[in-house]
Structure 1
Amino acid sequence: MGRVIDSTLFVAAERGQLDLPRLRRRHAGEPFVLAAITASELLEGVHRADTEARRIGREAFVENLLRALRVIPFDLTIAHVHARLRARMPRNRQIGAHDLMIGATAVALGYAVLTRDRRSFPRIPGLRVDVA
C-alpha cells in the first residue's frame, strides 16, 4: 500500500526526532507521495526560516523531496472525496483544512497517511493512518 506523507514527518526529521532513511527502508517497495498542500506547507517552512542558514538548508531539503516524490495535485476527484469526508464529519470533530485535504488525497488513492499526528487524521472516516 502506498503512503501519503504528512509534513509532521519532515518537521520531526529536521528536529532530529525521526530517521527518514530508516523509515523509508521499513516501507521499501511502497510508493511514497505528497499531497500538493503538503508541498505548500514545506515551502512555507522555507520562507518562515528564522535564519538564512536554516532557510538555505530547508530549501535544499524541500527541493530534493519535491524532485524525489510524486506530488499529487488537488484535482476534481480528490475534491469530491474531500467534500464527502467533510460532510460526514460531525461539527465538533472537524479537523484543519490542510489535514482534511491530505486525508482526502490518501482516501482517493487508496493509500494510508504516514504521519506523527495522532489526533487529526484518525478522525477521518475510512482513512488508514500509519503513525511513525
Structure 2
Amino acid sequence: MKLHMLDTDMCSYIIKEHPVSVQRRFRKIAMEQLCISVVTYTELIYGVERSSTRRVNRPVIEDFVRHLDVMDWNSEAADQYGAIRTKLEAAGTLIGAMDMMIAAHAKSIKAVLVTNNQKHFTKVKGLKVENWV
C-alpha cells in the first residue's frame, strides 16, 4: 500500500475544493492511504489562528483532519531532518525549516509527499513527490 502524505498547500486545496484536479485525485485515493504530518497540522492551525475568521475556520480544519491519520513526529523523522538539513546546507540550497521537517517525516515513513511546492521539495534527494495540481 502506497502512503501519501499531504503537504499544507494540498490540504488547503482540498478544503477549498479547488482546483478540480486536486479533488479528482483526492477522491481516487483510499483514506487509509492518506496522512498528514503533525507539522502540517501545525501550519494549518497557525493559518487559522492568524485569520480574521478563526471561529469559522477552526471547525473546518478539525473536521478535515478528523478523517486523516495525523502522523506524530518521531526519532526516525528527526534523523532524516538532520541528514536533509546537512545536505541542503552543504549544497547551498536550504529550504524552510517546516518544509524540511515535512520532507523528513515523509521520507521516514516512505510516503509520497503530495505538494504543489515542487521547487523546494525536489531539492531533497530520495523524497518521492507528486503534484496533483
TM-score of the two chains, using structure 1 as the length reference: 0.86
In the alignment, which residue of structure 2 is the partner of 1:61?
60
- Identical amino acids, percent of aligned pairs: 24
Matching residue of 1:6: 7
Shift of 1:22: 2.3
- What CA deviation, in whole Å up to 9, does each residue of 1:41-60 have, x standing for no partner? 1011111112x3xx233212
CA distance in structure 1 between the aligned counterparts of 2:55 and 2:122, rounded to whole angstroms:
34
Q: Who is 2:29 aligned against?
A: 27
The whole-number CA distance in structure 2 between the counterparts of 1:113 and 1:48 is 26
Gaps spanning 5+ residues in structure 2: where?
none
What RMSD in Å do the two structures reach over aligned CA positions?
A: 1.9
Q: Which residue pairs with 2:42 in the alignment?
A: 40
Contact 1:45 1:58 in 2 (8 A): no
Deviates more, 1:120-129 or 1:64-73: 64-73
CA contact (8 A) 2:14 2:23 kept: no
Q: CA deviation at 1:18?
A: 2.4
Distance 2:125 2:4 in 1: 17
Residues 4 and 114, structure 2, Cα contact 8 Å, conserved in 1: yes
Contact 2:15 2:64 in 1 (8 A): no
Query: Do the aligned residues in 2 keep the contact of 1:85 with 1:124 (CA within 8 Å)?
Result: yes
Verify the 8 A CA contact 2:3 2:112 in the aligned structure 1: yes
Give the TM-score of the pair, scaled to structure 2. Answer: 0.85
Give 2:110's aligned residue: 110
Match of 1:119, SS state, is: helix
Between Structure 1 and Structure 2, how many residues are aligned? 129
Instruction: Give the match's secondary structure for 1:46.
Output: helix
Q: Distance in 2 between matches of 1:82 and 1:76?
A: 10
Q: Map of 1:81-92 to 2, 5 A cutoff?
A: 81-89=80-88, 90-92=90-92
Q: Retained in 2: the 8 A contact 1:3–1:30?
A: no
In structure 1, runs of 5+ residues without a counterpart are none
CA distance, structure 2, for counterparts of residue 85 and residue 33 of structure 1? 21
Distance, in Å, in 2 between the alignment partners of 1:123 and 1:102 is: 13
